[in-house]
Amino acid sequence: MGNFWSDLSMIEKIYAVMGLAFSFFFLLQMILSLFGVDHDSDASGDADTSVDNDAGIPFQFFTLKNMIAFFAIMGWTGLVCLRGGMEQWLAVLIALLAGLSMMVIMAAIFYFMSKLADQGNVDSLKAIGQTADVYLTIPPTRSGQGKISLKVQGRFMEYQAITNDDEAIPTGSQVTVLEITGSQIFIVTKI
């Protein structure tokens, strides 16, 4: 190792130190991310407020992770190019392009990963017009509530239901959802 280090020119040593140091930080960052220790900043307090650091920007290019990846790839690419006999200006250019390419790749990966996030909320308005099964008998003319079950956004849900029909709708019948009241009670009619 000592002989290898002494054979390097000053710029090769700079690239080697850059590659080693930022590779260490990159690995440390990856290990910490696996255990949930990350540099994302969410804050919340007693007032039930939160602050998110993305500022609504969907494609984040200049982040700490991307900068660490940039310098790690730039260091190793520059060292390999110079050790391969390239001229210094060409090695610097290729190292910069490789680092920038890595930043774009990392930003794209995190952008598409953020698109995989699911809110988990069901929009009950999407149930209007759908067919549901009566789970508990629905009394006639809004004289009481029954229950219906239906699939909304890929999830089986149960809701309180009332009807304007003159006859009760028995368990096992099929109904159509007409509207939803402000208190999330579904108004249905028998099919």
Looking at 91, 115, 139, which one is the last position of a domain?
A: 115
Tell me the DSSP string of 63-85: -HHHHHHHHHHHHHHHHHHHHTT
155 and 100 in a single domain? The answer is no
31 and 59 in a single domain? The answer is yes
Residue 124, C-beta contacts closer than 8 angstroms, at least 6 positions apart: 152, 157, 159, 180, 184, 186
Amino acid at 55: A
Give the model's pLDDT for residue 47.
45
Looking at 115, 139, 165, which one is the last position of a domain?
A: 115
128 and 110 in a single domain? The answer is no
Give the model's pLDDT for residue 190.
94
Looking at 84, 115, 146, which one is the last position of a domain?
A: 115
Give the model's pLDDT for residue 115.
78
59 and 6 in a single domain? The answer is yes
Q: pLDDT for 94-151, tens place per residue? A: 999 999 999 999 888 888 887 776 667 888 888 899 999 999 999 999 999 999 999 9
21 and 80 in a single domain? The answer is yes
111 and 132 in a single domain? The answer is no
102 and 132 in a single domain? The answer is no
Look at the pTM and tell me if it is higher than 0.85.
Answer: no
- Find out whether 175 and 191 touch, Cβ atoms under 8 Å: yes
59 and 133 in a single domain? The answer is no
96 and 43 in a single domain? The answer is yes
23 and 86 in a single domain? The answer is yes
Percent of the chain with pLDDT over 90: 55
**pLDDT average, residue stretch 159-188:** 93
88 and 128 in a single domain? The answer is no
Give the model's pLDDT for residue 58.
60
Confidence of residue 38 (pLDDT cuts 50, 70, 90): low
How many domains in the chain? 2
Residue 148 belongs to domain spanning: 124-190
Confidence of residue 57 (pLDDT cuts 50, 70, 90): low
3-state secondary structure of 132: strand
